A = this chain, B = another copy of it.
Amino acid sequence: MDSTIPQSLTAAKTAAVDAFTTSPLLTDLYQLNMIQAYLDHGDAGTAVFELFVRSLPPRRGFLLAAGLHQALDFFENLRFSAADIAWLRSTGRFNKNLFDYLGDFRFTGDVHAIAEGTAFFASEPILRVTAPLPQAQLVESRLINILHFQSLIASKAARCILAAPNKLLVDFGMRRAHGAEAALFAARASYLAGFAGTATVLAGQAFGIPLYGTMAHSFIEAQDDEAKAFEIFARARPDNVVLLLDTYDTEAAAQKVVALAPRLKALGIAIRGVRLDSGDLSALAKSVRAILDRGGLPDVTIFASGGLDEDRLADLAQAHAPIDGFGIGTSLTTSSDVPAIDFVYKLQEYNDIPRRKRSEKKATWPGRKQVWRRYDNKGVMAGDRIALERDSLRAATDGSAAAGEEPLLHCVMRNGRRLMPSPSLDEIRRRARQQLEGLPEPLRQLHADATYPVEVGDDLIKLAAEVDRRLRQS
């Protein structure tokens, strides 16, 4: 369970992160269809799209924003190679003006966003793109793909943190994450939400996240004797001796650990911990704790894994199970109870005219918006207000903004260039911790019945009515 990681591996990190840059063809075909039509018709005016969640899924009282860093990388690196263009040409679908446009493509728009690690709620824009229409359209699919997944996992991880606030939590879910990128992004998102680290080695290299890992059952089985397997592992990994107890009989294995400890001690090797991976974890942790304590090993920690999620963590806390840390696998990296959230990216303004769709249950609020958050005198979040940005700006400058209200959206990219380097993962992690500490108590419960107050400003309601009037007249 050693988490020592080297610092200043900037070069190696950059190389690995570059591997996430995917082909610009990772998009939906309809984006290219529409861009062809925009180009043919000369629709290159300024468009404003906002990304938000239509409604919170079941069992989620809040969400935690994550993935902005990779989204900005995506904007900065979006290029079509000659091979990409040649392939598109070979499909026989598009015209020369599209190939010329894509060959020269650079994202030149502005991006406003809420910071990674910030709690957010339904209908609140977490990112806004202001760019020529074809550019703003082209980025949609991958932008959602990046922000949806990381926010999904950060939100799930936050629930684990709230369920087991003083425990060491580690991402063990690479193998059943949905592919390579999901495994890496899940490690990042859970770490920024407050996990101690991950088992995924590449996430250590790519993001500098602390790494944790023990041994598997196969290691024990491959030896003819469990005690011998423990000793071989301890000699090979003297700084990181965490022994897996449940291959055959957990309590018998704990006795073997007690018997082994003095011999290892004579070699200068300390057993740091044991791991339980099956059975009644609460009962086993108590009996193993007793065996270890009686055997003179009170400092050996107990780590548990195996089908855990935030509900099991809460149960184990309630049962006062003497477990020091947990490996959370599949439920974390797939957000298994809520594997997707209704993230959408919608046109709110084009050519300075506010726009909205009115599809059943999918209507949107038009215009460029800001989210204002206010806090009570203890620093607890008291309510949000979604308002038109022009109004927000006026309010901020003429002093009419409510005292203590803070705007959540900030300009992070101008003309396709980041305004400043992204915050470090540890800075984002600190922000997430503050946000979780500032949540109203009802939202900190796993079964959030309470709804956080999010007010839609009068200006927005009025503007939506104006847009509807215009649409009726057209």
From A329-337, A400-408, A421-429, A453-461, the one touching the partner chain is: A329-337
A234 to chain B, nearest CB (A): 9
Interface contact A175-B202, CB-CB below 8 Å:
no
Q: Name the contact of A174 in the complex, choosing from B26, B152, B175, B248 (C-beta under 8 A).
A: B26
Residues of chain B with a CB closer than 8 A to A140's CB = 175, 216
Residues of chain B with a CB closer than 8 A to A350's CB = 221-222
From A15-23, A159-167, A441-449, the one touching the partner chain is: A15-23
Interface contact B178-A25, CB-CB below 8 Å:
no
Q: Name the contact of A175 in the complex, choosing from B5, B145, B353, B358 (C-beta under 8 A).
A: B145
Interface contact B144-A176, CB-CB below 8 Å:
yes
Residues of chain B with a CB closer than 8 A to A20's CB = 180
A187 to chain B, nearest CB (A): 10
Which has the most chain B C-beta neighbours within 10 Å: A22, A43, A356? Answer: A22
Whether a CB of chain B sits under 8 angstroms from the CB of A232 is: yes
Interface contact B40-A91, CB-CB below 8 Å:
no
Interface contact B346-A26, CB-CB below 8 Å:
no
Interface contact B214-A33, CB-CB below 8 Å:
yes
Interface contact B216-A30, CB-CB below 8 Å:
yes
Q: Name the contact of A359 in the complex, choosing from B30, B149, B172, B278 (C-beta under 8 A).
A: B278
From A111-119, A205-213, A286-294, the one touching the partner chain is: A205-213
Q: Given the complex of chains A and B, what is the CA–CA distance between A217 and B347 in angstroms?
A: 8
Whether a CB of chain B sits under 8 angstroms from the CB of A59 is: no
Can you list, as one digit per residue, whether each of A206-238 has a CB less than 8 Å from chain B (1) or not (0)?
000001111111111111110000001101110
Q: Given the complex of chains A and B, what is the CA–CA distance between A17 and B353 in angstroms?
A: 43
Interface contact A47-B222, CB-CB below 8 Å:
yes
Q: Given the complex of chains A and B, what is the CA–CA distance between A83 and B403 in angstroms?
A: 53
Residues of chain B with a CB closer than 8 A to A361's CB = 278-279
Q: Name the contact of A90 in the complex, choosing from B9, B91, B330, B474 (C-beta under 8 A).
A: B9
Closest to A284 in B: B360
A2 to chain B, nearest CB (A): 7
Interface contact B355-A222, CB-CB below 8 Å:
yes
Whether a CB of chain B sits under 8 angstroms from the CB of A201 is: yes
Can you list, as one digit per residue, whether each of A116-145 has a CB less than 8 Å from chain B (1) or not (0)?
000000000000000001000100111011
Residues of chain B with a CB closer than 8 A to A223's CB = 43
Interface contact B474-A224, CB-CB below 8 Å:
yes
Q: Given the complex of chains A and B, what is the CA–CA distance between A86 and B177 in angstroms?
A: 27
**In chain A, residues 333-380, which have Cβ atoms closer than 8 Å to a Cβ of chain B?**
334-336, 339-341, 343, 346-347, 350, 353, 355-362
Interface contact B15-A202, CB-CB below 8 Å:
no
Whether a CB of chain B sits under 8 angstroms from the CB of A420 is: no
Q: Which size bracket describes the interface of A in this complex? A: 35 or more
Given contacts A28-B200, A144-B175, A340-B336, contact A221 B356 (CB under 8 A): yes
Q: Given the complex of chains A and B, what is the CA–CA distance between A423 and B2 in angstroms?
A: 44
Residues of chain B with a CB closer than 8 A to A202's CB = 22-23, 25-27
Residues of chain B with a CB closer than 8 A to A176's CB = 144-145, 148-149, 340-341, 343
Closest to A218 in B: B347
Q: Given the complex of chains A and B, what is the CA–CA distance between A353 and B221 in angstroms?
A: 10
Residues of chain B with a CB closer than 8 A to A179's CB = 145-146, 149, 178-182, 184-185
Q: Name the contact of A23 in the complex, choosing from B19, B142, B149 (C-beta under 8 A).
A: B19
Closest to A147 in B: B175
Interface contact B93-A205, CB-CB below 8 Å:
no
Whether a CB of chain B sits under 8 angstroms from the CB of A12 is: yes
Whether a CB of chain B sits under 8 angstroms from the CB of A399 is: no
Whether a CB of chain B sits under 8 angstroms from the CB of A36 is: yes
Interface contact A357-B26, CB-CB below 8 Å:
no
Interface contact A357-B41, CB-CB below 8 Å:
no
Whether a CB of chain B sits under 8 angstroms from the CB of A395 is: no
Closest to A198 in B: B29
Interface contact B180-A145, CB-CB below 8 Å:
yes
Closest to A347 in B: B218
10 A-B pairs, CB-CB below 8 angstroms?
A4-B91, A26-B174, A91-B211, A142-B180, A145-B183, A148-B176, A217-B359, A221-B350, A221-B355, A248-B357
> What 7 A-B pairs are tightest by C-beta distance, nearest first?
A29-B213, A179-B181, A37-B236, A178-B178, A339-B339, A30-B213, A178-B182
